[in-house]
Amino acid sequence: MENNKKKVILTGDRPTGRLHIGHYFGSLKTRVSLQDEYEQYIEIADVQALTDNFNNPQKVRENVKELVLDYLSVGIDPNKTTIFVQSMIKEIAELTVFYSNLVTVSRLERNPTVKTEIKQKKELFGEDGTLVTYGFLGYPVSQAADITCFNANLVPVGEDQLPLIEQTREIVRKFNNIYGETLVEPEVMLGKVPRLKGLDGNTKMGKSLGNAIYLSDSDEEITKKVMKAVTDKNKIRKDDKADPEKCMVAYYHNIFSEDEKKCIFEECRAGKRGCVACKKQLAKNICNYLRPIKEKRKYYEKNPQIVDEILKQGTKKASIKAKETMKLVKKAMKIDYFE
């Protein structure tokens, strides 16, 4: 297939930390498998990261490279996928301004993802309304600009992102209605495991929750974390019968122990399996699974100039595409005065 006939994918991540296995099964794996079939863009969303971390720019900067390393290590191929930095594409910022007229403040406040995040902020810092900045409340608008800037057809993300993509679709419909058919309305694609639970049983795996296994964790770190995973509380002695449904170790065996899981669950139910041995087996399987990923990461860590070049070239390529979209948008909005 000709490159220009391929459908377009856009996804992105905030550079606020390394990626974990939740990201891997929620989105990264899908991105790797689709990069042949689609024209794929992956955005390092530094501008979006700053909406939450405007007072910590160093953290954002450091994590840009970490993200590129994570992408390359899981098998994102820079010859097939364009990796770029959001802040370097000024058309995204321009589009954000144009789209901000098409969204009401109350609609943003009702966005379920934004709502949850505001609630979390209030729990952490008290009822201080000043924490909700204009930029933070508006980040779904900026995300709509990310996606539409590349006329993306498909956005593979985890479940938590659904309300943001819905918001994008609304903006696209409104834009096309007012200014004429210009933008593509994107579809969501959920990973096989839309949301991976944390080692502690929390429904979300996250940095701040301390319940995540990172793609770059050492074998020792992985083992230590797995040994602390939550198991069925009713199982006290090694030969007590237990319910794998109530055990996070079993939950992860489901993913990492394809060949052994049937036997593992039977033994667990029959009280023939101690938790310590069970955890060790899981840790070993996770370590084996992540080994090739970490080896690839090591190669790129040793060759930082290659990583820099990939990001630079990707950003250049993304910029060309963004300019094409901007031309159409400005024409539709009747603000294409002169070149």
Q: Which residues are catalytic?
A: 121, 204, 207
Nearer to ligand TRP, 43 or 70 (CB): 43
Stretch of residues binding ligand TRP (CB under 6 A), selected from 5-13, 224-232, 249-257, 275-283 = 5-13
CA distance 183 to 312: 27
Q: For residue 339, give the 3-state DSSP assignment.
A: coil
The correct pick among 39, 43, 66, 232 for binding ligand TRP (CB under 6 A) is: 43
Q: Scanning residues 215 to 234, which ones bind ligand TRP (CB under 6 A)?
A: none
- Residue from 21, 67, 155, 250 binding ligand TRP (CB under 6 A): 155
The site map against ligand TRP for 112-151 (x = CB under 6 A) is -------------------------------x--xx----
DSSP structure string for 82-108: EEEEGGG-HHHHHHHHHHGGGS-HHHH
Q: Where are the beta strands (DSSP E) in 105-185?
A: 154-157
Non-local (6+) Cβ contacts of 261 within 8 A are 253, 254
35: tokens are: 């990069």
The verdict on 13 binding ligand TRP (CB under 6 A) reads: yes
Pair 257, 281: CB distance under 8 Å: yes
* Residue whose C-alpha is closest to residue 295's, from 207, 215, 213: 215
Residue 157 interacting with ligand TRP (CB under 6 A): yes
Q: For residues 156 and 244, which CB has a smaller minimum distance to ligand TRP in the complex? A: 156
* Cα(233)–Cα(68) distance, integer angstroms: 40
Q: Compose the 272-311 pattern: x for residues touching ligand TRP by CB under 6 A, - for all others.
A: ----------------------------------------
Candidates 14, 20, 29, 235: give the one binding ligand TRP (CB under 6 A): 14
Interface with ligand TRP includes 48 (CB under 6 A)? yes
Phi first, then psi, for residue 217 (nearest 5°) are -60, 145
Binding site for ligand TRP (CB under 6 A): 10-14, 43, 45, 48, 143, 146-147, 155, 157, 161, 164
